[in-house]
Amino acid sequence: MTFTPAELLAVMGSRQLRDDTTVFAGVGVPLLAAALAQQRHAPNLTMVIEGGIIGPRIKPGKLPISTNEMRAGHRATMLPGITDTFLFAQRGFLDYGFMGGAQIDQYGNVNTTVVGPDYARPKVRLPGTGGANDIASLCREVIILTFHEKRRFVPRVDFVTSPAWLQGDDSRARAGLYFGGVSKVVTTLGVFGFHPENRRMRVEALHPGVTLDQVREQTGFPMLVADRVETTAPPVADELEILRATDPERRFLA
Q: Which amino acid is at 230?
A: E
* C-alpha to C-alpha distance for 145 and 10, rounded to whole angstroms: 8
* C-alpha to C-alpha distance for 166 and 105, rounded to whole angstroms: 9
Whether 158 and 115 have beta carbons less than 8 Å apart is answered as: yes
Residue 118 half-sphere exposure, CB side, CA atoms within 13 Å? 4
State the CB neighbour count (10 A cutoff) for residue 234.
Answer: 15
Whether 184 and 108 have beta carbons less than 8 Å apart is answered as: no
Q: Which amino acid is at 55?
A: G
* C-alpha to C-alpha distance for 52 and 74, rounded to whole angstroms: 13
* C-alpha dist (Å) from residue 35 to 18, 167, 229, 235: 12, 34, 28, 15
Determine which one of 7, 50, 204, 239 is catalytic: 50
| Residue 50 is a catalytic residue | yes
Whether 39 and 243 have beta carbons less than 8 Å apart is answered as: no
SS (H, E, C) 109-138: CEECCEECCCCCCCCEECCCCCCHHHHHHH
The burial class, CB within 10 Å (0-12 / 13-18 / 19+), for 151 is: exposed
Q: Which residues are catalytic?
A: 50
